[in-house]
Structure formats: structure tokens, C-alpha cells
Structure 1
């Protein structure tokens, strides 16, 4: 069951990055509009810091190579400068919306995944960053094969 509407996704490739190369360094900055529900994916050699707003609700991801295998790391700023109530809400929203964000990254960079199909099976490691230990976590969120809206459903 996909919740991504591809018509609401805009993708920008920055200088030094093509639709298929490089793997490393390849950084993703995913932001959104609360008003229109549009998603904006910027893919570059570094994060698109110019796209980040003061609420810090972006999704930052990058490919990491260790030995001969790749992993995808995501960093989410759950909070430190916010009240505990706001941090609790941000944590809830990030967890609820992360599958959509992963679908957007997978779909928005589909030519890259077609050129490197082995990356569909690389682990997605998510860093929930917070000064409150209850929310400061590192979790495995599966692989991009779980978030590929282009493949036919088995249901």
C-alpha cells in the first residue's frame, strides 16, 4: 500500500551528480510543503543546506560504503531545542511519514536504482537524533526493495 503521489514529487540533481552516478558521495535532502503536501528531493554531492528550514523536519540521507557493501544512512533531527512535548510529537510524525520519505527517495532516484540494482537490498539505517535518550535511537528500516512503488504488489 503506497501513499506516495509521484505527481507531488519534484526532483533536482545538483552539479556533479547524474541520474546514475556516483554512488558515493550521493546525498539526499528531502523537504516538503505543509501547504501543498508537495515533496522536494534534492540529490547532490552534499546535502542541500539551502533547502533546510528552521523547523528542521527534513530527511537527510547518504550512501556509505564499508568494505565491499553499501548502506544507506538517514539522519532525522527529532529535537533538542524543543520542549519534550514537541519532541514526542516530532518523533511520532517522523515515524509515521518515514515510509513515504523512503518511497520518495526510491521513486525519485529510480534510474539510479535501475543502474545499481544491488542497492535495493542494502540496509537503511536511521538515526533519530535527540538530546532526550528515549528518542535518540539508531534503527534498521529494511531495504529500498520494501519501498519500491514501481514494482507490482504481491497482494
Structure 2
């Protein structure tokens, strides 16, 4: 996993989203620069579709609620049928390797929300790998934000 450097993270809020409101809907679009290693987190009522390119490797996330419990859903587009299985396998491995960094960046970038609502650190993180290949198309529970820091 790459190391997280807070100074390389830029955070922008869109729509009527603030540092602490709302929880739902609250959607995250995390992009990066391969050249500089900078990370760009956009937090809004919707995803920053203008920053998303299906050939790249953005990480999308959102808060959801089931009954009284919050959980955090992440969507990773491994492929949409446009890659060979070997290319998709490589992308899948990269996503798995770099996902802890992405989750750390999202948590740090929205730390004011977590400070206001500390129970969100106990929310389960559900990862959705989206692929045309059944081998890579899966949903996994990656624990909680709290478990990532311990």
C-alpha cells in the first residue's frame, strides 16, 4: 500500500454539503494524479461525474442507512467489459492494493464529519468491485474505519 500524505490531499465540497452536514445524501469522488501522487476528494450530494472517466480508477463512496445503522458503500469500476481479463485482473489487484490508502484519504478528508458523528467510525465499509467478469465482480465487508486505524 502507498503511504498517505495529508498534504497531498485536496478536499472540495459541492452543492449544499458542508464539513458536517448532511450525512445522507453524502457522496465521495476520489481521483488522483499518477504524475504527482496528489489526491482529490470531492464531497457532494451526488458524485462528481464531471471528474469521472470510466477508463480511469476513481473511487466512489456514499453513506447509506439500514434501520438505525449507517454503513459506507464504495464502488470500484474494475472494468465495464472494455478490457481483456488479464487487464481487468491487473486493475483488480491495483484496486485491492490501493484501497486502504483511498479509504484513509476519504476518512481524513471528511474528518470533521467523523468528529461530529463519532459513531460513523464503527460503520461497516462495504466494497463493491464492479466488473463484467464474475471472478472480479464481488461485494466485500472491509471492516470499519475504526478497525483501519488500529
- Mark yes or no: TM-score above 0.5: yes
Residue 106 of structure 1 and its aligned partner are, at CA, apart by 0.4
Could you say what secondary structure the match of 1:104 adopts?
A: helix
Could you say what secondary structure the match of 1:113 adopts?
A: helix
Structure 2 partner of 1:102: 103
Structure 1 partner of 2:20: 20
Residue 3 of structure 1 and its aligned partner are, at CA, apart by 1.6
Residue 81 of structure 1 and its aligned partner are, at CA, apart by 1.1
Residue 42 of structure 1 and its aligned partner are, at CA, apart by 0.2
| Contact kept? 2:26, 2:46, Cα under 8 Å | yes
| Contact kept? 1:106, 1:147, Cα under 8 Å | no
Displacement over 6 Å in runs of 4+: none
Change (3 A) 1:147 1:11: farther
Residue 74 of structure 1 and its aligned partner are, at CA, apart by 0.4
**Pairs within 5 Å for 1:1-155:** 3-79=3-79, 80-148=81-149
| Contact kept? 2:9, 2:109, Cα under 8 Å | yes
Distance 2:118 2:2 in 1: 21
Could you say what secondary structure the match of 1:145 adopts?
A: helix
Distance 1:25 1:56 in 2: 25
What RMSD over aligned residues (CA atoms) do the two structures have, in Å?
A: 1.4
TM-score, normalised via structure 2 length: 0.95
Give the gaps of 5 or more residues in structure 2.
none
- Alignment: residue pair count: 149
Could you say what secondary structure the match of 1:20 adopts?
A: coil
Give the gaps of 5 or more residues in structure 1.
none
Residue 146 of structure 1 and its aligned partner are, at CA, apart by 2.9
Could you say what secondary structure the match of 1:87 adopts?
A: helix
